Amino acid sequence: MAEETHKPESTVAEVVVPVAEKPAEKPAEKAVLPPEAEKLAAAESAEAEKPADSAEAKIAQQVSFKEETNVASELPELHRKALEDLKKLIQEALEKHEFSSPPPPPPPAPAKVEEKAEEKKEEQPPSTTSTTTTTTTAVSDEVAVAPPSEEAPKTDEASPKVEEEPAKIVEQPPTTPAEEPEPAKTPEVVVAEEEKTVEDIKETIVVEVATTTAAPVLTEPESVEETPKEAEVVVEESPKEPEEVSIWGIPLLADERSDVILLKFLRARDYRVKDAFTMIRNTARWRKEFEVDSLLDEDLGNDYEKVVFTHGVDKQGRPVCYNVFGEFQNKELYQNTFSDAEKRKKFLRWLIQFLEKTIRTLDFSPEGINSFVLVNDLKNSPGYGKRDLYKVIDKFLEILQDNYPEFAAKQLCINVSWWYLAYNWIYLTVFTPRSKSKFVFASPSKTAETLFKYIAPEQVPVQFGGHSKFGEHEFSPADTVTEVTIKPGSKHPIEFAFSEETELVWELRVIGWDVSYGAEFLPTKEGGYTLNIAKPKKVTPADEPVICDTFKVTEPGKVVITIDNQSSKKKKLLYRSKVKTSQ
């Protein structure tokens, strides 16, 4: 689902968003293409003029990626220590129930608090009676005390009495002995005294309120104070059991399968333990919020099975997932998928359901299959004008990036135009060499050949140049394909000899074709007649079929299939056969 720029690796980083096929708008752009794009463009435009083994004709790709070991004892010491530290953090979080609790609210910004304090300081009163009263009110509002009155008699000059309104005071004020009221003061004297003692008023109010609010605490019944203490004792006596959290059906701290999952998160965060822990915790919370586990049993239909599907395995036994967004050129399918928000939500849930089902086929043992291969077919992919489609895709890629790390072992992008690689090359440069090595790009003429480097031909669907057909009965993935290279200007015969009555079935493909194909039966009996099974015919590159034929042998002899390559390039022939014994 870690790099020079410390950008976390993810499955999004491992997923290429398809875009529509379109020519470059300005020819001058070719001058600034990256070297890999220039190679691919040159390979397509001048392929007929170059020798077959020319370096420029090779597919642009990175150094081969090799998955790291998942056996804890074989990990480097630093990685092994990171794994142990991550386990400790997870254990502590499980005991505190941090995986199920919502994330804490962000702390208040300290800058705003300081700004408020500065604003209050700026509200210092000038030497006027009205301003003095306003300032005192502002200070008193903080503690719910009314401002002092100009006409109220004062019992103590050092501690002026606030306005005698018991309803506005937090608690009953302390009583003072009755004293002789002082003579009334003139307005000028009042103003002068108020200007002199503004700061004293603030301090006195704070002290007085603290005193009045503290007094009731001392007089409260003991039962009020004992209640929280008793609650605390109960919590201590009966602590909560550590919560149980599972991802993809495997507990976070169970056995070696758990280590495989934790290592995926560690690698996605370049073995930064705290970052990996945060990612795991957020993933667990998202899965609970999205109800991923119950999504597995939800019936979302099969409308998108031609868009995203799993077919066969690669040469290491990993499942191969195909993304064929060109299927959305079908207007009816597009409308039924993206015409309103509810349908878009359904497609997003279907994608996540498909991903979850694929992951559940992995065994998660340290030496087992723990990842899959992605094949992104860019042929006829819709352009960014299909905004509804790309809104869903972008959201899906965001979910992949955050919650499905290190599941794509390889990204095979096929039917790629030269401008597409140039368009995405800047995007790819932000990834580490390890991430970039997962990407492989193949032009339309090199698609089948590139796929066969990683996936056996019998495992590749016919639509991508392989021999595997949906629902076929003659052949199965167990029937392997033989690969043969035919030199330029030469013929290559394939012979099958029989001594008894039987039936032969075969299928073959020549990558790029531009050759002649023919088949005949030569009897062993002297004087027998040769039978034409298939008359020689020229097969063009535009045809790109898999030729399937069958012949029932009624006498001893041999079937000879001939591929005549009169072109100036070497050709790769792939074929397989099966014998059906007559009953």
Amino acid 526: pLDDT: 85
Which of residues 230 and 566 earns the better pLDDT score?
566
**pLDDT tens across 343-391, in order?**
999 999 999 999 999 999 998 999 999 999 999 999 988 877 788 898 8
* For helices 77-95 and 273-290, angle between their N-to-C axes, nearest 10 degrees: 50
The answer to whether 505 and 577 are in contact (CB under 8 A) is yes
Class of domain 12-20+32-100+247-455 as given by CATH: alpha beta
Predicted pLDDT at 311: 93
Cross-strand partners of 246: 251
Q: Please check whether residue 458 is in contact with residue 479, taking contact to mean a CB–CB distance below 8 angstroms.
A: yes
For 213, residues 6+ apart whose C-beta sits below 8 A from its C-beta are 170, 171
Cα–Cα distance for residue pair 369/508, rounded to 1 Å: 31
Identify which of 121-130, 138-147, 526-535 has the greatest average pLDDT: 526-535
Q: Is the pTM of this model over 0.75?
A: no
Most confident of 46-55, 76-85, 198-207, 537-546: 76-85
Name residue 490's beta-bridge partners. 565
Min mean pLDDT across 231-240, 276-285, 330-339 is at 231-240
Distance in angstroms (rounded) separating the CA atoms of residues 410 and 61: 11
Phi-psi category of residue 291: left, alpha or beta, with phi > 0 → left and psi -120 to 50 → alpha? left
H helix runs in 27-168, sequence order: 35-45, 77-95, 110-122, 129-141
Task: Parse the chain into domains and list their residue ranges.
Answer: 12-20+32-100+247-455, 110-232, 482-581
Q: Which phi and psi angles does 553 have, rounded to 5°?
A: -85, 125
DSSP codes joined into one string, 374-399:
EEEE-TT---TT-HHHHHHHHHHHHH
- Is 81's pLDDT higher than 50? yes
Q: Which residue has the higher pLDDT, 172 or 530?
A: 530
pLDDT tens for each residue of 171-227: 455 544 444 455 555 555 544 555 555 455 444 444 444 444 444 444 444 444 444
The reply to whether CATH 3.40.980.10 applies to domain 482-581 is no
Between helix 341-360 and helix 387-403 the angle, nearest 10°, is: 40
Q: At residue 87, does pLDDT exceed 90?
A: yes
Yes or no: say if 261 and 250 are a contact pair by the CB < 8 Å rule: yes
**Percent of the chain at pLDDT exceeding 70:** 61
CB 59 within 8 A of CB 446: yes
Q: Select the more confidently predicted residue: 331 or 137.
A: 331
Which residues touch 538 (CB under 8 Å, ≥6 apart)? 515, 516
What is the share, in percent, of the chain residues with pLDDT greater than 90? 40
Inform me whether the pLDDT recorded for 273 exceeds 80.
Answer: yes
310, 358, 327, 332: which is closest to 470 by C-alpha? 310
Question: Residue 424 contacts by C-beta under 8 Å, 6 or more apart in sequence?
Answer: 16
Q: Which tokens sit at 180?
A: 């002789």
Look over the chain and give the mean of its residue pLDDT values, rounded to a whole number.
Answer: 74
What local confidence, expressed as pLDDT, does residue 547 receive?
A: 86
Three state DSSP letters for 290-354:
HCHHHHCCCCCCCCCCCCEEEEEECCCCCEEEEECHHHHHCHHHHHHHHCCHHHHHHHHHHHHHH
Q: Judge contact between 159 and 204, C-beta under 8 A.
A: yes
- Structure confidence by residue, pLDDT tens digits, 564-580: 999 999 999 999 998 87
